[in-house]
Structure 1
Amino acid sequence: MTTTQQERPLAVLVGVQLPGVDDVEHAADLAELGRLVHTLGFDVIATVSQRRSALAAAAVLGEGKLKELAELTGGSGVVPSGAPERKNKARARRAAESGEGDDDGELAEVEGDDADGDDGGGAAPDAGGREARRATVVAVDHDISPSQARNLERATGAQVLDRAGVIIEIFHRHARSREAKLEVEIARLNYVAPRLRETGGGGDRQRGGIGGKGAGESALELDRRKIRDRIAELKQELAGVQREQSTRRALRQGQRRVALVGYTNAGKSSLMRALTGSEVLVADKLFATLDTTVRALHPEVRPRILVSDTVGFIKKLPHDLVASFRSTLDEALEASLLLYVADASDPTFRDQLGVTRSVLSEIGASEVPSRLLLNKVDRLSEEEREALRLEFPEATLLSAKIPDDVAALREALIAFFEQSMVEAELLLPYAKQSLIGEIYENARVLSEEYDDAGGRLAVRAHPAALDRLRSLLAR
């Protein structure tokens, strides 16, 4: 008895290389989009790319490239009448003089995916004479307008997702906690609302007003109002969840907290597992972690050091997602130390690091003390490592897979917090012996002596933790 593996649906990537974007950056953006689409569950069979001064107003690509794209999806390749591309006369004149034509200097014809062995034809017969499968999804590496998406769908006969849509859909599928699900749903509805369109009879007015008088509202307007109402409900529910999260964070106030931040798939979760011994999800895919996880450094030290794994960042992250996940990012804002984790084996990690710093600066976390960790150095040669040491002398080079590297990082974290700790004496009256656990939790007890007044504890702790303990003992 044989079983056949279910075939994954196919997708085509579309990118426009705009002025100011070099070939390396453009290729990296398309490669990242391919990984996003693969994470979403599609196999990429081809990439259609073009150089243009701007996205075509009607359907992103010029007419020639649009027809090439349609050959991969089985569409007509024609933008419906009534939505012609608005041509820039000056650009058209320059193109005519230089002989560029409508395609405005193509980057490549159609780049096939090497892994699939596809030649970019999409519908050509295979070796057995059967018609090859066509792509059912077109993923565009830009934020496009609803009308552009609609025209692309009509010209290609395939579902069209822009970069923001792909990211939001991945977040929607990967969210696990109640907070993450609410945050993603708000972002998804904000994305969907302007993209609603009338159906065949959608323009009819609903009866409104007393006795049916009044203009009422169209089905489209009604749907949009329902979405607005739903977003309001979700925001109210999210506010309640965030209050609970704020309470939990307040209870950790004064504790030593480290937040792992960085680009998606930089290895934060692997490092989290190595540092804490926890069974957090580790997967070689984008946005495997959406929910903030907090665990204690292992083996434990006193007072404890808490490590949190946060959601990863990515270029062109939709603003609605940044806004929605602000409460999740607050974990970074309230940390004692930020560990910027970068995948040193990725040639574009410098740009990725810039994206991380930009997002954290946006929420006000740029003032939090930080350290740079260049992860996955086990994939680099010794010459490459030495070059990184010269370029980033303040960085720690390590691999989450090498125990000695993780142990050295653990000692560095302990040393960082030791610098800010001070010694003091606490008087613990016999009537407040119940606070002994709190003291051991938030301070390192060096010695204990007891007399008629109670216990005298010599401790070493962070000043903020000492103030909190003294306030508890004074009540």
Structure 2
Amino acid sequence: MSNSSSTRPLAVLVGVQLPGVSDTDHAADLAELGRLVHTLGYEVVATVSQRRERLAAGTVLGTGKLKELASLTGGRGIVSSGAQERKSKARERWEAEAEEAEGEEAEADEEEEESPVEQPAAETGEEQATARPTVVVVDHELSPGQLSNLERATGAQVLDRTGVIVDIFHRHARSREAKMQVEIARLNYLAPRLRESTGSRERQQGRGSGDSAVELDRRKIRDRLAELREGLAAIQQDQEHRRYARRDQLRVALVGYTNAGKSSLMRALTGSEVLVADQLFATLDTTVRALQPETRPRVLVSDTVGFIQKLPHDLVASFRSTLDEALEASLLLYVVDASDPTWEAQLEVTRSVLREIGAQSVPSRLLFNKADRLSSEAREALLQQHPEALVLSAHSPEDVAALRQTLIDFFDRSMVEAELVIPYSRQARIGEVYEHARVLSEAFDETGRRLKVRALPAAMARLTRAFET
């Protein structure tokens, strides 16, 4: 392990392979979870995996696998009663019965089939003994009870996939809007998972109040959510005005899986200094820039937040206004990392999210990015499978120039040609024509300036009305 990575807290990944999930897909899910965890700042040193019919109600894993996990973290492998939450007797009976049933089921599973064992990192022996993992990350969304039980059994901090993604969004948000959107999703995630501190007593605040600490914290979260939604509504209204002002302009939106290379492509097409990093969710804020060299009319390109498997619904909802850039675009470019063996599943995730916001009807083109990592045979195979797609590299000037021309040709096919007469008394408004149309020729006579132009039908209709005599 390098010096840089040795300072990172150590983590163990946990995954349950459910029926209908292939070995390849399960391995890809865990590999992606590992990248998420690394982006969050942890070093993955082991993986614990198990095949099950369903997640164990109390602890996700069966009893045997739970003990194996605890042996890595130094926990006892059982759900101790030292930090019990206050529960009703009926709930205690229900949980006891559920745990007993899951224990029997897990023992049966382990007798029938040997589940995949944990795969430790290169450090073993003395290093493992002296530096135990302090974080357990589960590739499923955990209920508050499951999270609490796993923490007691392993003696480690437990995160689920949703919590990891929300935390990454929280760290990477830069603009005020993105920070507010992420905080809404984060509070919605945390609210049901609030628990009383060990040994805490119900505290009273104010005359006649008997609310517990958790109830008071949840009330604060509700108040904060209301405040955030009010502030976000004001920002989004301002963005609506900006989008309305751009309604006549040609807009291209880059959409795709996280780390597919959208930001690199954005920088190559527009020359903008957007953040480019080899990590998941490096870009959360929508950036809009003009295609360079500029065209007439201008083509605006927007870079959107990336998608991922099991993207928390609250994050999709929170970033709805950001995703509206895709909904209102003239053309969507589906950016796919062609070098990733799971690109087909990633493309389906992108399409699924866009269907959710109603953007499936927007015209689109498929782009296979990172072609510089492919062999010539692999490139040919992609084109045979998707003959309409473009296979390119954002780092190849020739590929970027070809994509730019493809965009220009796409919009050109939708344009109509007409002649405008600009009276000499309205020459000050000539800029409107150059902004929304391509001027092919111009001449002057006694009536004014005669322009032969190409523009989209709607823009042409507005320009014609604007200069009618």
Mark yes or no: TM-score above 0.5.
yes
RMSD: 2.3
Shift of 1:409: 1.0
Task: Report if aligned partners of 2:62, 2:103 keep a CA contact under 8 Å in 1.
Answer: no
Task: Report if aligned partners of 2:12, 2:45 keep a CA contact under 8 Å in 1.
Answer: yes
Partner residue in 1 for 2:85: none
Letter of the structure 2 residue corresponding to residue 381 of structure 1: S
What is the CA–CA distance in structure 2 between the aligned matches of 1:206 and 1:297, rounded to whole Å?
A: 60
SS in 1 for 2:421: strand
Partner residue in 2 for 1:118: 123
Partner residue in 2 for 1:271: 265
Q: Which residue, 354, 379, 383 being the options, matches 1:385?
A: 379
With over 3 angstroms needed to count, the CA separation of the structure-2 counterparts of 1:135 and 1:439, relative to structure 1, is: same
Letter of the structure 2 residue corresponding to residue 182 of structure 1: M
The answer to whether 1:469 aligns with 2:463 is yes
Partner residue in 1 for 2:7: 7
Structure 2 segments unaligned to the other structure (5+ residues): 82-91
Partner residue in 2 for 1:372: 366
The answer to whether 1:354 aligns with 2:364 is no
Q: Which residue, 239, 243, 253 being the options, matches 2:237?
A: 243
Task: Please list, as runs of the form range in 1=range in 2, the aligned pairs for 1:9-24 lying within 5 A after superposition.
Answer: 9-24=9-24
The answer to whether 1:456 aligns with 2:450 is yes
Alpha-carbon deviations, 1:196-225, whole Å to 9, x = none? 0112465525256xxx34x64222111101
Partner residue in 2 for 1:100: 110
Alpha-carbon deviations, 1:380-417, whole Å to 9, x = none? 11222222121111111111112111111111111111
Alpha-carbon deviations, 1:99-137, whole Å to 9, x = none? 734xx7443221123xxx124xxxx424xxx95311111
Partner residue in 1 for 2:418: 424
Q: Which residue, 326, 333, 336 being the options, matches 1:339?
A: 333
SS in 1 for 2:202: coil
Partner residue in 2 for 1:86: 98
What is the CA–CA distance in structure 2 between the aligned matches of 1:456 and 1:408, rounded to whole Å?
A: 33
Partner residue in 2 for 1:301: 295
Alpha-carbon deviations, 1:340-398, whole Å to 9, x = none? 01111111000000000000011000000001111112211122222212111111111
Partner residue in 2 for 1:323: 317
Partner residue in 1 for 2:192: 194
Which stretches of structure 1, 4 residues or more, deviate above 6 A after TM superposition?
3-6
**What percent identity do the matched residue pairs reach?**
68
The structure carrying a bigger helix percent of its residues is 2
Task: Report if aligned partners of 1:50, 1:105 keep a CA contact under 8 Å in 2.
Answer: no
Task: Report if aligned partners of 1:58, 1:85 keep a CA contact under 8 Å in 2.
Answer: no
Shift of 1:159: 1.2
Letter of the structure 2 residue corresponding to residue 108 of structure 1: P
What is the CA–CA distance in structure 1 between the aligned matches of 2:423 and 2:291, rounded to whole Å?
A: 31
Aligned residues: 455
Letter of the structure 2 residue corresponding to residue 180 of structure 1: A
SS in 1 for 2:14: strand
Task: Please list, as runs of the form range in 1=range in 2, the aligned pairs for 1:51-200 lying within 5 A after superposition.
Answer: 51-81=51-81, 84=96, 86=98, 92=104, 96=108, 100-101=110-111, 105-113=113-121, 117-119=122-124, 124-126=125-127, 131-200=129-198
What is the CA–CA distance in structure 2 between the aligned matches of 1:145 and 1:15, rounded to whole Å?
A: 15
Task: Report if aligned partners of 1:57, 1:85 keep a CA contact under 8 Å in 2.
Answer: no
Partner residue in 2 for 1:407: 401
What is the CA–CA distance in structure 2 between the aligned matches of 1:254 and 1:307, rounded to whole Å?
A: 14
Task: Report if aligned partners of 1:193, 1:227 keep a CA contact under 8 Å in 2.
Answer: yes
SS in 2 for 1:112: coil
What is the CA–CA distance in structure 2 between the aligned matches of 1:88 and 1:411, rounded to whole Å?
A: 65
Letter of the structure 2 residue corresponding to residue 58 of structure 1: G
Partner residue in 1 for 2:84: none
Letter of the structure 2 residue corresponding to residue 252 of structure 1: R
Shift of 1:472: 4.1
Task: Report if aligned partners of 1:269, 1:309 keep a CA contact under 8 Å in 2.
Answer: yes
SS in 2 for 1:230: helix
Partner residue in 2 for 1:48: 48
With over 3 angstroms needed to count, the CA separation of the structure-2 counterparts of 1:245 and 1:148, relative to structure 1, is: same
What is the CA–CA distance in structure 2 between the aligned matches of 1:332 and 1:417, rounded to whole Å?
A: 17
